[in-house]
A and B are shown apart, each in its own frame.
Chain A
Amino acid sequence: MAVITMREALNQALSEEMERDENVILLGEEVAEYQGAYKVSSGLLQKFGSKRVLDTPISESGFAGLGVGAAMQGLRPVVEFMTWSFSMVAYDQIVNNAGAIRYMSGGQYSIPIVFRGSSGAGLQVGATHSHTPENWYANVPALTVITPAFPDDAKGLLKSAIRSNNPVCFIENEKLYGFKDEVPEGEILTTIGQARIRRPGDQVTLIANSASTHVALAAALQLEADGISAEVLDLRTIKPLDLPAILGSVAKTNRVVIVEENKPFAGWGAQVAYEIQHRSFDDLDAPIERVTGLDTPQPYARVLEQAVMPSADRVIEAVKKILA
């Protein structure tokens, strides 16, 4: 198996799907000549030409909506937001158009579009540039929301997202682009909507996604040294939620700490906690804990931002609290 970065895995997914289906196009700021602000689209212009790999003006609302229109007309656009923080400018197009046209038209249209790009906090870029917006999009009924944590999932899920006939928000995390791991050779198509146990354990389940999965794994490693066995469940897909996997793990460990980078109010973790207590109340031996980004706009100063971010220390503290 090849060991590649998340960035390369995403690049392979784009390249393979563009090769396979000429209706797949890629558009966004700096995706073509600059080779991508984060180099995810590196080489694609050279491979597929400017008809299919398009640099856009800084007009997120315009090009996101253009993508939706093109999808209504049978193309399969991949729209890159340089970061998801800039998708706010296009929110209406994603929510009201991508998110509602199939339904509003009584099912006449498929919207096979993927919105993707980097996201996340922790790199000291301040309040406007640090959003972790999976909650906002998961709140829209018809959107699929995918947040990969590892290169193999990034590749397999992006390929599935491009083939999906639903609008997909594929939310990458900037901190992970350089993360390297094994990715199987050849075609991989990962099923959308399935969580994955990244580390088995039996005393507590750490439910996480994207970069938070790595925070949870770091915490689990330290907990092991303290003789505590933590299972790490990477949701991979926020919507649809893999309830069987979540409830199955809870049945085994009876304790849950949710780790999420996004803000706490109505975060996906709140939904997961609701589902667990609603469906598996008797499996719980302790209240569910959440370790989230703190409920503040993102500060610039490192000391402040570190306090805001979920950390292994905060996860360990939460675990020890419910195991006490």
Chain B
Amino acid sequence: MASSGAKKVRSKEKPGKSPAVLPTLTPSERVDLLRKMVLIRRFEQKAAQAFMQAKIKGFCHLYIGQEAVAVGSISTLSPTDAVITAYRDHGHALARGMSSRECMAELFGKITGCSRGKGGSMHFFNKEKHFHGGHGIVGGQTPLAAGIAFAQKYKGTGEVTVCYLGDGAVNQGAFHESLNLAALWKLPVIYVIENNEYAMGTHQSRSSAGYPLVKRADGYDMAGITANGNDVDDVREKMWDAVQLARTESLPSLVEVKTYRYRGHSMSDPGNYRTKEEIAERKKESEPISFFKERLYKEKALTEKEYEEIERVAVAEAEDSIAFAESSPEPEVATVFEDIFAPEDQIAEFRPPIGS
């Protein structure tokens, strides 16, 4: 549903490859969506435990509660479309098909991690999977998304870019500059605001003027779309419109997805700015995994027994990723000087030796 004030998505006959309407998933494909969401949840719960044991260091931002957003939206993409997000990136990475092993190993700072232990929780990358980070500076990924989309259009690949950002990030200048560029140059990019209501301890009502946030699309004459982030089907449906607009007409859009994070801003945040009751209430009314699970039960796409199996497999995969990360080697100290310059251009003598 387009929000009041924001432009409706224009519909138009789509050329060639992608179907005009959202493909109906088979029951087993629908169960796959649930499987992904459960995996992300269990992966992060294991990561949280490992953080408490000081096996994961630095900042660690959990996605728990928001799983339907990444899973639903990424399920509307083709595997070569680009995905880019902020520091709360574990869910998007897993939804994109990155392995739990490479993700957990990155959290443990191991050489087998998706960024060779150099990035950590906030800086996951996997170019092969078209997952372009993992960005630590609020809003910093938004111009990159415009650039990736620019290159997709320039090369005529027919691919699109999805860029996630938070409700706090909408107030960075870079985001506004990106929206303008995307609209002005008709770039095939979809900006997805994951509105989980809080930017650290600041409720959205104390950080942004002009609600709903999707209204920001108006000023740039872009499509503005709103979705319910607790309902993976709704996310899919609304994202599909945006993806089609980008794919077939090379037009950007802004999608505001209403969601909620159940954990602190990061593992280091005690979360005193909201009540336990508030969190409990949100979980009760709209926890995305149980919500979707119940729907699948009703559709007879899933039995309780099958769900138990999904849980068992997800926990086993998360545990396997921990074991893999734990048994992986630390990076060799010499790797600290690798990956700074393109190896073909690297002038060895310019490298300062350790201890310089």
Interface: A106 (CB within 8 A): no
- B336 neighbours in A (Cβ, 8 Å): 294, 296, 299, 304, 307-308
**Do the beta carbons of B333 and A307 come within 8 Å of each other?**
yes
**Do the beta carbons of B171 and A57 come within 8 Å of each other?**
yes
Q: How far, in angstroms, from A120 to B199 measured CA to CA in the complex?
A: 23
Interface: A127 (CB within 8 A): yes
The chain B residue sitting closest to A125, CB to CB, is: B58
Interface: B30 (CB within 8 A): no
Measured CB to CB, the closest approach of chain A to B342, in angstroms, equals 15
Q: How far, in angstroms, from A290 to B172 measured CA to CA in the complex?
A: 38
**Do the beta carbons of B172 and A125 come within 8 Å of each other?**
no
The interface size bin for chain B is: 35 or more
Where chain B touches its partner, the secondary structure class is loop
**Do the beta carbons of A304 and B331 come within 8 Å of each other?**
yes
Pick from A58, A294, A317: contact of B139, CB below 8 A: A58
Given contacts A58-B138, A129-B59, contact A124 B120 (CB under 8 A): yes
Interface: A128 (CB within 8 A): yes
Given contacts A88-B137, A301-B330, contact A126 B200 (CB under 8 A): no
Interface: B335 (CB within 8 A): yes
**Do the beta carbons of A57 and B120 come within 8 Å of each other?**
no
- Of A30-38, A132-140, A238-246, the stretch lying at the interface with chain B is A30-38
| Chain B 83-124: CB-based contact to A (< 8 A → 1; otherwise 0) | 000000000000000000000001001100001011110110
Given contacts A29-B202, A126-B122, A129-B136, contact A58 B355 (CB under 8 A): no
- A307 neighbours in B (Cβ, 8 Å): 333, 336, 354
Given contacts A55-B202, A57-B208, contact A294 B118 (CB under 8 A): no
- A129 neighbours in B (Cβ, 8 Å): 58-59, 122, 136
- B174 neighbours in A (Cβ, 8 Å): 89
Pick from B57, B139, B273, B355: contact of A33, CB below 8 A: B273
**Do the beta carbons of A30 and B200 come within 8 Å of each other?**
yes
**Do the beta carbons of A86 and B202 come within 8 Å of each other?**
no
Measured CB to CB, the closest approach of chain A to B264, in angstroms, equals 12
**Do the beta carbons of B137 and A126 come within 8 Å of each other?**
no
- A127 neighbours in B (Cβ, 8 Å): 118-119, 123, 136
Pick from B118, B140, B207, B208: contact of A300, CB below 8 A: B118
Q: How far, in angstroms, from A18 to B203 measured CA to CA in the complex?
A: 27
- B297 neighbours in A (Cβ, 8 Å): none
**Do the beta carbons of B354 and A300 come within 8 Å of each other?**
no
* Chain A residues with a Cβ closer than 8 Å to the other chain, count: 42
Interface: A46 (CB within 8 A): no
- A29 neighbours in B (Cβ, 8 Å): 200, 202
- A317 neighbours in B (Cβ, 8 Å): 355
- B119 neighbours in A (Cβ, 8 Å): 126-127, 300
Segment 37-82 of A: residues with Cβ below 8 Å from B: 37, 55, 57-62
- B355 neighbours in A (Cβ, 8 Å): 291, 314, 317-318
Interface: A297 (CB within 8 A): yes
Interface: B201 (CB within 8 A): yes
A-B pairs with beta carbons under 8 Å apart, 13 shown: A33-B201, A33-B206, A55-B202, A60-B172, A89-B173, A126-B123, A128-B123, A294-B354, A296-B336, A299-B117, A300-B119, A303-B330, A304-B331
Residues of A within 8 A of B (CB): 29-30, 33-34, 37, 55, 57-62, 85-86, 88-89, 123-129, 264, 290-292, 294-297, 299-304, 307-308, 314, 317-318
Residues of B within 8 A of A (CB): 57-59, 106, 109-110, 115, 117-120, 122-123, 135-140, 168-169, 171-174, 199-202, 206-208, 272-273, 330-331, 333, 335-337, 340, 351-352, 354-356
